[in-house]
Amino acid sequence: MGPDLWSPTIHRKESLWQRLSPPQLFVGSFLLLILLGTLGFKMLPGLYTGEPLSWLDALFTATSAVCVTGLIVVDTATYFTLAGQAFILLLIQFGGLGIITFTTVIIVMFGRRLSLRHEVLTTGMAEVIPHVDYQHLVRNVILFTVAFEVAGAVLLYGLWIPRMGWTEAAWPALFHSISAFCNAGFSVFSDSLMGFQRAPLVQLVVMVLIVIGGIGFLTLEELYLLRKAQHEKHRFNLSLHSRIVLVTTTVLLLVGWVSFTLFEWDVTMKAMPAWAKVLNGLFASVTARTAGFNTIDYGQATDSTSFLTIILMFIGGSPGSTAGGLKTTTVALIGLLAWSRMRGRGITSLWGRSVPQETVQRAVGLFVVATALVSLSIFIFTTTEIAAELQARVPRSFLKYMFEAFSAFNTVGLSMGVTADLSNIGRWTTIFLMFLGRVGPLTFAAALARRQRKPIGGFRYAYEDVVVG
């Protein structure tokens, strides 16, 4: 009697699961977590030191935490209690790794085999790096995360004991370690990390966490396999994906390091000794692409620094990481495509390997869509936020809102000080940007698209050329 009563319900649930595509499940998981975060901010007791957030600000904060962005409309350090900060940290952790990763780990822990559908949902990259065992990778995602976050927390705790004391240093160390590894940019210090401009070891620990969290778990897994192979004296070659990630990341860090140091040497870093200027220049380069921590005041930075930061934010981290942005591989492929066309070659290739045309076209499509979305958002800011500034007869700040739009879409979290003053339209725009930047515009479009049947017999329309350029 029992199984007969429950079987229709189970069947309906399974049918709904089967009808949802992997992009829909992925996007839906973030929507669900944002919804739960918003409700938590409104209903859980003891989260605030004063009045609770409004519904819009609760949604904004939940989206920023789940999408590991770091933009804030209230001061995390003073507005929230320890419980409130812990709730934000929980959202950051789940949002950084994704609900799908956690559910996959639970399935594996109970000894059940992942279905092909679940493997596509959690990885989707088996053809890119075929020698990676993806069930092993899913376990290592959690192992890597716990290992680096714990190590970072212990190191920061040791470094902050002399300044804060044995008990007071514990929570900031744990919070910043998780926030840095997840590239979230949230801080329990009101001035982010500006109080540590002359603390090289603190900056070094945070930078390492940011870089490791931003290069992607696939690359981390390959580096682990490479070291294991070297130890066992076996041959192991990194995939083209990981090589592009590592080289592009290194080049961007070096270019940003030199540029930021030169641009801010006599501006925001004027009062620092020479070694601290070099150190903070490196930190600015590391944090600009994904993380959102700052040791300098971006509201006082030069226009050159702000524009370079916008470029680095747009590039972002690497695929399969906790970072946002276009991703290093996307930008690298677009650059390689341009170089191939300049040399008169129809195929994009690197290091003796040719990249499939479909992948290159996807990179170009992502660049076009992302540029269009950010441009539209900047236009919205100019008609709402800057228009309000004109009415108030205060100096206009187009660059600040351009900076804000890129920071939101690429889930960076850096700001030139305008986030808390955004209008309701500006906040809704920022929420939408953060969400799209985290799930990816192409994935979001795929989630909205209806499944189309393949044309019978390979039917297509006749070709007709168009003049361009």
Q: pLDDT band for 390, please (50, 70, 90 cuts).
A: low
Contact criterion met (CB below 8 Å) for 310 and 399: no
| Mean model confidence pLDDT for the chain | 80
**What whole-number distance in Å separates Cα of residue 185 and Cα of residue 311?**
18
Give me the residues paired with residue 136 across strands. none
Is residue 304 situated within a structural domain?
A: yes
**What whole-number distance in Å separates Cα of residue 254 and Cα of residue 99?**
34
List of residues 6+ apart from 84 with CB closer than 8 A: 46, 47, 48
Is residue 424 situated within a structural domain?
A: yes
262-267 average pLDDT score: 91
Is residue 11 situated within a structural domain?
A: no
Model pTM score: 0.83
Is residue 454 situated within a structural domain?
A: no
Domain, as residue range, for 356: 21-448
Closest CA to 409 of 275, 305, 297, 315: 315
Residue with tokens 């309701």: 424
* 428-446 per-position pLDDT tens digit: 999 999 988 888 777 777 7
pLDDT at 205 over 70: yes
pLDDT at position 282 is 93
* 95-139 per-position pLDDT tens digit: 887 655 655 554 444 444 444 444 444 444 444 555 555 566 667
Is residue 465 situated within a structural domain?
A: no
Contact criterion met (CB below 8 Å) for 148 and 213: yes
**What whole-number distance in Å separates Cα of residue 317 and Cα of residue 443?**
17
Give me the residues paired with residue 350 across strands. 353
**SS3 state at 372:** helix
Residues comprising the chain, all counted: 469
Q: How many domains does the chain have?
A: 1
**What whole-number distance in Å separates Cα of residue 262 and Cα of residue 242?**
30
Is residue 3 situated within a structural domain?
A: no
390-408 average pLDDT score: 77
**What whole-number distance in Å separates Cα of residue 347 and Cα of residue 108?**
40
* 213-250 per-position pLDDT tens digit: 888 777 877 787 778 777 777 777 777 888 888 999 99
Is residue 459 situated within a structural domain?
A: no
pLDDT at position 132 is 55
Q: Which residue has the higher pLDDT, 340 or 128?
A: 340
**What whole-number distance in Å separates Cα of residue 30 and Cα of residue 66?**
7
CA distances from 47 to 40, 69, 95, 179, 228 (A): 9, 20, 19, 19, 45
Is residue 409 situated within a structural domain?
A: yes
